[in-house]
Structure 1
Amino acid sequence: MTTNDTAPVRFDTKIAVLLREDLESWQRLNVTAFLVSGLGADHPEVVGERYEDADGTAYLPMFRQPVLVFEGSKEVLTAAHGKALARVLPRAVFTSDLFATGNDRDNRAAVRAVGKDRLDLVGLAVYGPRNAVDKVFKGARMHP
């Protein structure tokens, strides 16, 4: 990241989410929120400082960099998952089974019940060096 206050900020890492293209709008929003929610816990460097308005009201900190959202076919998502695993990049998955669960325990059990090559993925979040994430998401397109 650039330290000059007047220069544009350019990050050497990327946070990106890939959604299956056939999801409904509410599903896209839900999946994206769930996928990025764990990133700050495992990688605290992605979270910036707390916010404060002119009146001194405090707000929670947020990611220090944008989250890019992509979409692609089931095949693109499956390929991206395999590439993320091969590159050992930090990742989060959301499977179609999670739409039928209502809590974290059942979510984790649903993922645990299926082997990595048989997961019915509807979303994938990846964090890592910018060029590595770009290679993982090759074939995906920016979410409209």
Structure 2
Amino acid sequence: MTQQMNEEKAARPSTKVVVVLREDLEAPLAANAGAVLGLALGGRLENSVAADGKDAGGGVHAGLNPHPVPMLAASGRALRTLKAEADGRGVTVVGFNEVARRSRDYVSYLDALARTGPEEVEYVGLALYGRRADVNKITRRLPLLR
């Protein structure tokens, strides 16, 4: 390996974040699902935001999540399988489902979810965070969201 390749590999975090959205979502719903998942996952992670930065003029820019976040696509059935596999590997997984998407507020969501059987939960998307090798194993065959 070249020195540059070694440096690039060393600079990569040992953990990975991936968002997987249901492939049939319209753009506004996909954008909303991605935002909801990102906020929910970020709230669960320590040090999920890097230091603020400054531009050449001294303007301050709020720190961002230091992980690249690929946006992938999967069928509803595949999302259920991905969730189970992530749970089995100890990967942190946040699911956004149709019960939540259709609820007007969080209390209504929790009430409706309590009446929904696990086999009836239809995922809109998942956010995964864990060891790079585990997240790659779970998501490597998925295409990028289009």
Q: Normalising by structure 2, what TM-score?
A: 0.82
Q: How far is 1:121 from its partner?
A: 0.6
Q: Are 1:40 and 2:42 counterparts?
A: yes
2:86 corresponds to: 84
1:118 corresponds to: 120
Instruction: Return the letter of the residue paired with 2:120.
Output: R
Cα separation, 2, equivalents of 1:108 and 1:70: 27
User: How many aligned positions are there?
Assistant: 140
Larger Rg: 2
Larger mean CA deviation between 16-25 and 45-54 belongs to 45-54
User: Does the CA-based 8 Å contact 1:21-1:71 persist in structure 2?
Assistant: yes
Q: Are 1:29 and 2:31 counterparts?
A: yes
Deviations 1:36-84 (A, max 9, x none): 1123322123321112223333232210011111101112111001111
Instruction: Return the letter of the residue paired with 2:124.
Output: V
| Same amino acid, percent of matched pairs | 26
Would the alpha carbon gap of residues 123 and 49 (structure 1) be closer, same or farther in structure 2, given more than 3 Å must change? same
Would the alpha carbon gap of residues 39 and 99 (structure 1) be closer, same or farther in structure 2, given more than 3 Å must change? closer
Cα separation, 2, equivalents of 1:140 and 1:45: 28
Cα separation, 1, equivalents of 2:113 and 2:32: 17
User: Does the CA-based 8 Å contact 2:99-2:121 persist in structure 1?
Assistant: no
Q: Runs in 1 of length 4+ with deviation above 6 angstroms?
A: none
Q: State the Cα RMSD in Å.
A: 2.3
Would the alpha carbon gap of residues 117 and 135 (structure 1) be closer, same or farther in structure 2, given more than 3 Å must change? farther
Would the alpha carbon gap of residues 116 and 41 (structure 1) be closer, same or farther in structure 2, given more than 3 Å must change? same
Q: Normalising by structure 1, what TM-score?
A: 0.83
5+ residue gaps, structure 2 = none
Would the alpha carbon gap of residues 39 and 139 (structure 1) be closer, same or farther in structure 2, given more than 3 Å must change? same
Q: How far is 1:100 from its partner?
A: 2.1
Deviations 1:6-38 (A, max 9, x none): 933322111001111111111111101110112
2:56 corresponds to: 54
Cα separation, 2, equivalents of 1:108 and 1:24: 25
Would the alpha carbon gap of residues 52 and 69 (structure 1) be closer, same or farther in structure 2, given more than 3 Å must change? same
